[in-house]
Amino acid sequence: NANCVEFLLENDVFDRLEGNPFTPAHCASFSGSERCLELLLLKFGAEIAHSRDSRDRTPLHIAALHGHVECAKLLVEKGGDVRARDEDGRTPLVAAAQYGQVAFVEYLLGCSGVDRTSQDRQGNTALHWACYRKHNNIALLLLENSEDVAFVNTANGDGKTPLHLSSRNGLVDVTKELLQKGASVSAVDNDGLTPALCCAPNANVAQCLSLILQSLPEFNVKCTYNSKDALNFHIHYNQ
C-alpha cells in the first residue's frame, strides 16, 4: 500500500535498516510494487538498493526471481549491483534465467557491467540454467551477439556444458545455435559422457543427436587387422 508507506516515511516511523532479514525494498520487489519501491529509494537511496536479506539476496535478486523489470530499473538507477551474488553465488542474471524470466534477462543483458559468464556455487551459468530448465528463449538471448567460445563450453560442477543439457532436453534450436557458436561435441562430463551420449530417446533429442553427429570430425583411421585377426578378436571377447 503506497499511501501507507508514504505516511510512515513522512512521519519517520523508522529510519534504520539494520536487523531486518527481509527489508521493505525486498517486499516491494517481491510484489512488484513500483510506487512503494520508489518511495523507499527516495528515502534511503543506494543503502536500501544494496540491502541484503537472510539469504544474502539484494532487492534486485528478488525482482529477478519474479520478473519485475520496472522495479529492477528503479534499483539499477539507484546503484543496484547487477553483479551482486547471493548465498548460492547467483547474480540477478543467473536467478532470472533459472526462473524463466525472459523479459528480465533481456533487460539485464542491456545493463552496463552485467556478466553473462558468471557462475553460481555449482558452476552453473545463466546459460546452464536456461538449458536445464528448458527455457529456450532465454538460452537464445544469452547466445545472441556472443562470440565467446569459452562461454559456450563452460563446464559446471558436474562437468556438463550447456550442450550436454540442451541435447539431453531436446532443445533443437538451442543445440543448433550452440554448435554454430563453437560448442564442443567431445566435451566429457564427470560421468564420462559426451553430449551425444547424454541424449535420451525422444523425437526432439533425436534431432539434437543428429546435429551433434553431423558436427563430429571425420575419422580416417585405417584398420590394420586382417579378417582372421578380427574373427579371433570377436571370439575372444564373446567367450
CA dist 154 and 166 (Å) reads: 13
Confidence of residue 112 (pLDDT cuts 50, 70, 90): very high
In this model, does residue 237 exceed pLDDT 50?
no
Mean pLDDT, all residues of the chain: 85
Alpha helices in 24-125 (DSSP H): 24-31, 34-44, 46-49, 59-66, 69-77, 92-98, 102-109
More reliable by pLDDT, 59 or 212: 59
**Could you please report the per-residue DSSP string of 112-164?**
TT--TT---TTS--HHHHHHHTT-HHHHHHHHTT---HHHHT---TTS--HHH
pLDDT digits (tens, 9 = 90+) for 175-209: 999 999 999 999 999 999 999 888 766 667 777 87
In this model, does residue 13 exceed pLDDT 60?
no
Task: Judge whether 183 and 162 are in contact, CB under 8 Å.
Answer: yes
CA dist 149 and 175 (Å) reads: 14
In this model, does residue 223 exceed pLDDT 80?
no
Buried b (16+ CB within 10 A) or exposed e, 62-78: bbbbbbbbebbebbbeb
Overall average pLDDT of the 208-222 stretch:
71
Domains detected in the chain? 1-115 (1.25.40.20), 149-239 (1.25.40.20)
pTM comes to 0.82
CA dist 204 and 167 (Å) reads: 9
Using alpha carbons only, what angle is made at residue 139 by residues 213 and 152, rounded to the nearest 5 degrees?
55
Sorted by sequence, the CB contacts under 8 Å of residue 87 that are 6+ apart come out as 55, 56, 57
What pLDDT is attached to residue 145?
A: 86
What pLDDT is attached to residue 197?
A: 84
Longest CA–CA span in the chain (Å) reads 96
What pLDDT is attached to residue 79?
A: 93
What pLDDT is attached to residue 4?
A: 56
CA dist 203 and 200 (Å) reads: 9
What pLDDT is attached to residue 15?
A: 54
Long-range Cβ contact pairs of 146-153 (< 8 A, separation 24 or more): 146/116, 146/181, 147/181, 148/117, 149/181, 149/182, 150/117, 151/116, 151/117, 151/125, 151/127, 152/127, 152/178, 152/181, 152/182, 152/183, 153/182, 153/183, 153/184, 153/187
What pLDDT is attached to residue 229?
A: 44
Q: Which three cell numbers stand for residue 229?
A: 585377426
What pLDDT is attached to residue 236?
A: 38
What pLDDT is attached to residue 43?
A: 85
pLDDT digits (tens, 9 = 90+) for 17-56: 554 567 889 989 999 989 989 988 988 888 889 999 999 9
